[in-house]
Amino acid sequence: MKVTNAFKNRDACIMNKGTPSSDFIRLNNTDFNRLSTFIYDTFGIYLPEKKHYLLQNRLLPRLQKLGYTSFSAYADFVLQQGEHSDEAFEMINVVSTNKTEFFREKDHFELLQKELLPDFFGRYIKIWSAGCSSGEEVYSLAMLLSEEKQLDHITDFVVYGNDISKRILAKAVNAVYPYRTVEAIPQNYRRKYLLRSKDKTNPTVRIVPELRVKTRFVWENLVGKQDTLPSDFQIIFCRNTLIYFDKETQYAVVSRLVAHLVPGGYLILGPSESLITQIPKGITMIYPTVYQKNT
């Protein structure tokens, strides 16, 4: 078996042999600053000092898996490998929060269906779920748009989703979810868009293939240089993502999202997010956390 240079370098950074124990592995201030700065510069996620122990506790299983006995050695390895390394992505997989639900904040979906989407009736609809996590929001939007297509309100549709975690995106593509998570999905949608497993011990559902083909999942860092998504979305959902950025990064991310909207398109943020004090040029708030690109 070939040993990669990355693992040779990792082994060179390990300070002590043996199985690490949480009893003596502590993240000191110096290494917290090194890692949090790397995470901020690479992924835009802001980790203030009050997140010190959160970072320690989330990374500790990763250290144990790799055989590190100190955060200093692990930080050396991550920084040496750089922002595009496999370990950088493995680290952000465990550091980032991937909480989402089907039809989360139902009011936004009702607003979309009743007031925003009619602006674009008769067209091919493109929606982007920015920071989509494991895909529940993407498939919720796809269900709603499928209903609108069946009513001949729209000609067709596609829903894009992006996230910085490659692992969570793989789950979104697979589209298999625990049965207990589907309660918020309307009953008529469940019958049409979900396939239920036959496993009684671990009941799951999978999104039907007819809906999965209407989705596109891509890895993209909202604060990175790569920018591969289309620039003609009518609707962009970016909910409960900006809260992980500082104000400067929030402004930059929102400006980037607005550039991907058609004139008259809508940006929908989470209920705990507000741009009232720093609205980028070119958009106007029409409802709390709902913004429209100027025509």
Edge-first strand order for the sheet with 204-207 is 176-178, 204-207, 194-196
Return the structure tokens found at 121. 């009736």
Profile the chain (295 residues) by mean pLDDT over runs of 10 residues: 41 40 72 93 88 92 90 93 85 79 94 97 98 95 98 98 90 95 94 92 95 96 86 95 86 93 96 71 90 94
For residues 180 and 18, give the distance between their C-alpha atoms in angstroms, rounded to a whole number. 41
For residues 89 and 92, give the distance between their C-alpha atoms in angstroms, rounded to a whole number. 5
Mind listing the domains of the chain with CATH numbers? Answer: 5-95 (1.10.155.10), 106-293 (3.40.50.150)
Q: Pairing between strand 290-293 and 156-163?
A: unpaired
Amino acid 276: pLDDT: 55
Q: Global pTM?
A: 0.81
Which residues, 6+ apart, have CB-to-CB distance to 191 below 8 Å? none
Return the structure tokens found at 219. 């890895």
Amino acid 274: pLDDT: 66
Query: DSSP assignment of 210-267, as one string?
Result: HHHTTEEEEE--TTSS---S-S-EEEEEE-SSGGGS-HHHHHHHHHHHHHTEEEEEEE
Q: What are phi and psi of 216, to 5 degrees?
A: -135, 120
Amino acid 7: pLDDT: 38
Sign of CA dihedral 264, 251, 172, 102: negative
Give residue 251's identity as a one-letter amino acid code. Answer: Y
Q: What are the pLDDT digits (tens) for 199-217?
A: 888 899 999 999 999 999 9
Q: What are the pLDDT digits (tens) for 27-49?
A: 999 999 999 999 998 888 888 89
